[in-house]
Chain A
Amino acid sequence: MASFYLTVAVILIVNAFLCLYRAGRGPTVPDRILAINIVGTKTLVVLVLLAYIFNQPMYLDIALVYGLLNFIVTIAAARYMETGKIKGDWEI
Chain B
Amino acid sequence: MSIVLDVFVNIVAIILTLIGIFFFVVGTVGILRLPDFYCRTHAATKCDTLGAGSILLGVAIYEKFSFDAFKTLLLVVLVILSSPTAGHAIARAAYRRGLVPWRKKPLELYREMEEE
Contacts and interface: CB of A to CB of B under 8 A. Distances in A.
A59 B55 CA distance: 16
A88 to B, nearest CB: 15
A38 B82 contact: no
Interface in B2-54: 10, 14, 17, 20-21, 24-25, 27-28, 31-32, 37, 40-41, 44-45, 48, 51-52
Contacts of A51: 68
Chain A interface secondary structure, helix, strand, loop or mixed? helix
Given A28-B99, A67-B82, A78-B89, A38 B48 contact: yes
B82 A30 contact: no
A38 B78 contact: no
A60 B48 contact: no
Contacts of B44: 34, 38
Nearest to B68: A57
Interface residues of B, number: 46
Contacts of B83: 37, 41
A67 B79 contact: yes
B30 to A, nearest CB: 10
A51 to B, nearest CB: 7
A60 B71 CA distance: 7
Interface of B: 10, 14, 17, 20-21, 24-25, 27-28, 31-32, 37, 40-41, 44-45, 48, 51-52, 55-56, 59, 62-63, 67-68, 71-72, 74-75, 78-79, 82-83, 85-87, 89-94, 96-97, 99
By Cβ-Cβ distance, the 7 closest A-B pairs, closest first, are: A82-B93, A71-B82, A74-B86, A30-B94, A78-B89, A78-B93, A15-B28
